[in-house]
Amino acid sequence: MPIVVGQDTSKTRRTLDVNGSTIAYYSIPAAEAAGLGDFSRLPAALKVVLENMLRFEDGKTVTTDDIRAFSDWAANGGKGDRELAYRPARVLMQDFTGVPAVVDLAAMRDGIKALGGDPQKINPLNPVDLVIDHSVMIDEFGNPRAFQMNVDREYERNMERYTFLKWGQSAFNNFRVVPPGTGICHQVNLEYLAQTVWTDTDQNGENVAYPDTLVGTDSHTTMVNGAAVLGWGVGGIEAEAAMLGQPISMLIPEVVGFELTGAMLEGTTGTDLVLKVVEMLRAKGVVGKFVEFYGEGLDRLPLADRATIANMAPEYGATCGFFPIDDETLRYLRNTGRDEDRIALVEAYAKENGFWRGADYAPVYTDTLHLDMGTIVPAISGPKRPQDYIALDRAAKTFGDYVKGIRDGKDINPTAEVRWEGEGGAPEPTDIPGDEGHHKRGFVATEDSRYQMHDGSIVIASITSCTNTSNPYVMIGAGLVARKAREKGLTRKPWVKTSLAPGSQVVSAYLEAAELQEDLDAIGFNLVGYGCTTCIGNSGPLAPEISKCINDNDLIATSVLSGNRNFEGRISPDVRANYLASPPLVVAYALVGDMNVDIVTAPLGNDQDGNPVYLKDIWPTSQEVADLVEKTVTRAAFQEKYADVFKGDEKWQGVEVPQQETYDWPATSTYVQNPPYFQGMGREPGTIENIEGARVLALLGDMITTDHISPAGSFKETTPAGIYLTERQVPVREFNSYGSRRGNHEVMMRGTFANIRIKNEMLDGVEGGYTKGPDGAQSSIYDAAMAYQDAGTPLVIFGGEQYGAGSSRDWAAKGTALLGVKAVIAESFERIHRSNLVGMGVIPFEFTGGDTRKSLGLTGDETVSIHGLDSVTPAAILPCTITFADGTEKTIELKCRIDTAIEKEYIEHGGVLHYVLRDLAGLSAA
């Protein structure tokens, strides 16, 4: 039975006639008529949650008081603290986060069997789609065979994982897999899976319409909010609970209104717009809040640009960035091949139930901010955070300041406010703009050329990621830049690794229809695969001689990518500075190959006649782009490419899997292992214990991302994970990545806190996954944690602001728990990671009263005790006693970030999956 409604006799249930058919729905105006409150000025994003309450109101999990709380929220100016039980319509996964989720489901089947329950109770009750998009690496590039060779290597590396996922597709109900080589999950979701208004049959067989909602095991699930589909990223453990029928516990959120006015100017792109939005909202502070975009500017903002803005909600810290349903929503649904009856339903439902953005749309918001799109200028962000916005004409100058800071021992984040003076112009070996002696240099010699590299040499230029490859305006724009550059005889610099990795096959269809793929090929942007590639860290190895030059000379090599993340150590182990840019700018930077060049004023190169060529000479007009988009991005292309989306190629069809209820875990597999979460699990939950005499495993700074905690990219044979694989006769060439091995807890434990750029303040000037062991000597974090576990010593982590920012990866919490960490104490947490920690039984705490790790003078040699946990209530203030190395003690107060009553139960059970497992086994979880 699908999870559609709680009660089909609700007084708010109505019917709607659409194109001659009748469909039931839950009416917000009917709720008002029934005296449940005034909901007329709720933001559309919040009306989606309200409808969910109406549909599942049962007097127990969801009550009429929950419904009335929305009216109170509006009356109180967008404020409320009501805890809600929210049920999304479906779940979206990708393979990096999806494999461990399916591993957990398989392990839960074993676990429920051991508890005397029925393994068939472990089945998704909501539809689940898993898109394999994170596994393709760019081993081959810049030639016509790149795509096929990368696909072949992908299957060679990942056959164990793909066999496991295909088993899951056959073993579990409501679980579909989109095969490799199809596209990126968020783009497939936006272009095909999402319906804006969902339909299903209820327990009586009646058809019901309701808002399309979802959670996803990837933080950029938010992209689909551009099509008015409410969705956000959660950890795999929370997604598993949702698909198994557990509601998501959430507080009624604040909603920040972001008013867009004006229109984009000639020469600017949706990427430029979103980078400014990210900067503004990070400065505003929207963590844990909904952001809803409104204003007359939306009348001129294509849905592709809306999706780009919605995609980067994790980068600006919001739960989601929502765009209400309007005429543009309908246009996009039609152009991407949705059924006409569905489009008619979306329009009728939205207008009937108060979801439509018309000229009179004026909801109540908790707070607002405004942006005139006419002020947007070309921009990039970097070198290591998405919010570090830099106007393009300041890019070279701020990079010079960054290099100077590094060489002077000050690792800084330059922004557009930095003023660094230096002349423009293409750099010569002895004339790097603004060098002033700060840049380092090295030389690369190959059989056919010899060239200099220096700080700022761009070694990766990648058109990648759903953020921008979903947007035909910037993709066509990139193709036109390539065409004009080719016509003038320009091409990429020889040290630049170029790549084109679209988020769906539709992109290739319209680039070929516009005859632009040939131009992209000519300057090195050949198709390398349909997947996340560089954006997730799968940029593949650099040429050995380039890698050697960078590392031998300690160069600050750079990358430019059209992605959403540029955190340290994410893109490539050889690249220190990473910049986010629009696809057309990625092409331009590949031509010049150097971040020191001011590409606004300096020539990119010379044409066939020796004349300088400037960016303005190869930049297309908005009309050129719009004309080609209109001509080549067609409804027929979407329908053709998505006709057999679940079928896959011959390689996928040839993957053979056993047809069995539980998984036969292969003992020798280094990709998929039965995790230890449910081994020895009792029938009853425990109690929350106080933390006594815990040691510090790591002392970390601000903006520690989930990439720092659980990196996704490659690793060396000298790391604990590399040693583990080497001991099992896995050659280095077959290591693959941390992300691909998330189905093996042994690898992932060893990779926790193992990012090459993480800095543990317990050690002086050391980068990487190191700490002090029980004997005080420097050790890998994994080895130290195991030594503490052997001694029975609990562990804590200290952090700064925005701890756990970035991707929604559950392994950042799983690895933390498996290392024996009982608590993480930080100044603030990002939403998803805090939830994931709770889901794994690790308690998050926040400093209070102005205390920080720095104000307390912590060195990591302290012991920590936290009391009051045996009787804790949500958001309680608890005493923490810190004993310093000299024996002195200090007691401070911490805020326990167990935020809700259900989260307390999760901790008591040892985690959310243990809670669900006992519940499904008919034990004591309820």
DSSP string, 705-744: BHHHHS--S---TTSHHHHHHHHTT--GGG---TGGGTT-
The residue count of the chain comes to 926
pTM of the shown model: 0.86
- pLDDT value for 96: 85
Contact by Cβ (8 Å): 227, 307:
yes
Residue type at 631 in one-letter notation:
K
d(CA 749, CA 719): 12
100-132 burial: b if 16+ Cβ within 10 Å, else e: bbbbbbbbbbbbbeebebebebbbbbbbbbbbb
CA 338 to chain centroid = 26
- pLDDT value for 415: 40
- pLDDT value for 12: 95
Residue 705 pairs with which residues in a beta bridge? 805
- pLDDT value for 570: 85
Contact by Cβ (8 Å): 146, 140:
yes
Which residue shows structure tokens 């294509």?
Answer: 302
At the top level of CATH, the class of 379-633 is alpha beta
Is residue 388 helix, strand or coil? coil
d(CA 926, CA 922): 9
Q: Tell me the CA distances in angstroms from 793 to 24, 586, 692, 824, one per residue in order.
A: 57, 50, 9, 15
- pLDDT value for 124: 93
**Among 318, 424, 429, 436, which residue's Cα sits nearest to residue 366?**
318
Which residue shows structure tokens 């603030």?
Answer: 828
Q: Is the peptide bond before 383 cis (omega within 30 degrees of 0)?
A: yes
CA 318 to chain centroid = 12
At the top level of CATH, the class of 691-710+752-909 is alpha beta
* Residue ranges, the chain, pLDDT below 70: 1-9, 410-437, 447, 923-926
226-244 burial: b if 16+ Cβ within 10 Å, else e: bbbbbbbbbbbbbbbbbbb
Q: Tell me the CA distances in angstroms from 392 to 371, 398, 421, 598, one per residue in order.
A: 19, 10, 15, 8
| E-assigned strand segments in 786-876 | 795-798, 821-826, 843-847, 863-866
SS3 content of the chain, % helix, strand, coil (to 5): 35, 20, 45
- pLDDT value for 767: 93
d(CA 763, CA 755): 15
522, exposed or middle or buried, with CB in 10 Å at 0-12, 13-18, 19+? middle
Phi, psi of 529 (to 5 degrees): 155, 165
Helix axes 912-920, 831-839, angle to 10 degrees: 50
What are the extents of the domains in the chain? Answer: 379-633, 691-710+752-909, 711-751
Q: Tell me the CA distances in angstroms from 884 to 693, 845, 856, one per residue in order.
A: 11, 20, 10
d(CA 464, CA 533): 7
- pLDDT value for 446: 73
Is residue 216 helix, strand or coil? strand
**Among 773, 818, 772, which residue's Cα sits nearest to residue 791?**
773
Cβ contacts of 672 within 8 Å, gap of 6 or more = 99, 103, 160, 161, 164, 665, 666, 743, 744
Contact by Cβ (8 Å): 499, 463:
yes
